[in-house]
Amino acid sequence: MAHEQLVRLSATSPRPEAKASTRQRVTKRRDALRARAWQDADSAELAQRDRWPEAAEGRVPVTSPHSRFRRERDCGYAYNRYNQQPSFLSDFEVDLLPLVDGARSIDELEAEVAPERRSEVGPALRRMIDLNLLRWSKTRIPDRAPTVEDLRPDAISAIERPSAPLVVHWEPTLRCNLRCATCYNESGPKAPIGVSADVVIPQLIESGVFLVTILGGEPMVDPHFYDNIRRLEEAGVGVEFVTNGWLLTDEHLERLLDTHICQIMVSVDGAEETHDRVRGRKNSFRRAIDGVRRFSDAGFDITVSLTVLRSNLEELEYMIDLSAEVGAAYMKLRPVVDSGRAKEQVETSEALSPDDVRAYQPLLHRKIDEHGGRLQFIHVSPLPTVGACFCTRDVSDTRYRTCRQGPCFIGRKLAYLRHDGGVAAHAFVREHVVGNITDAPLRSIWQNDDFWADVCP
Q: Which of 68, 275, 334, 418 is close enough to bind ligand SAM by CB under 6 A?
A: 334
Distance of CA 21 to the CA centre of its chain: 29
Q: Which does 305 bind (CB under 5 to 8 A by kind): ligand SAM, ligand SF4, none?
A: ligand SAM
Contacts of 305 (CB under 8 A, 6+ apart): 242, 265, 266, 267, 268, 332, 334
Tell me how far apart the alpha carbons of residues 103 and 144 are, in angstroms, rounded to a whole number: 8
Q: Does 39 bind ligand SAM (CB under 6 A)?
A: no
Q: Which does 179 bind (CB under 5 to 8 A by kind): ligand SAM, ligand SF4, none?
A: ligand SF4
What does the angle CA 100 – CA 102 – CA 103 come to, to the nearest 5 degrees?
100
Q: Which of 183, 288, 326, 423 is close enough to bind ligand SF4 by CB under 6 A?
A: 183
Rounded to the nearest whole angstrom, what is the least distance from the CB of residue 361 to ligand SF4 in the complex? 25
Q: Does 409 bind ligand SAM (CB under 6 A)?
A: no
Q: Which is nearer to ligand SAM, 305 or 312 (CB)?
A: 305
Q: Which of 323, 339, 381, 385 is close enough to bind ligand SAM by CB under 6 A?
A: 339
Q: Does 218 bind ligand SF4 (CB under 6 A)?
A: yes
Tell me how far apart the alpha carbons of residues 184 and 225 are, in angstroms, rounded to a whole number: 21
Q: Which of 89, 180, 256, 268 is close enough to bind ligand SF4 by CB under 6 A?
A: 180
Q: Which is nearer to ligand SAM, 184 or 400 (CB)?
A: 184
- Number of other CB atoms surrounding residue 103 within 10 Å: 16
Q: Does 182 bind ligand SAM (CB under 6 A)?
A: yes
Task: Name residues contacting ligand SF4, limited to 228-257 (CB under 6 A).
Answer: 244
- Tell me the number of residues near ligand SF4 by CB under 6 A: 11
Task: Name residues contacting ligand SF4, limited to 291-350 (CB under 6 A).
Answer: none
Amino acid at 139: T
Q: Which of 62, 134, 176, 302 is close enough to bind ligand SF4 by CB under 6 A?
A: 176
Q: Which of 203, 307, 311, 405 is close enough to bind ligand SAM by CB under 6 A?
A: 307
Residues lying near ligand SF4 in the complex (CB under 6 A) are found at 176, 178-180, 183, 187-188, 216-218, 244
Q: Where do contacts with ligand SAM occur on this chain (CB under 6 A)?
A: 176, 182-185, 187, 215-216, 218, 242-244, 267, 305, 307, 334, 336-337, 339, 342
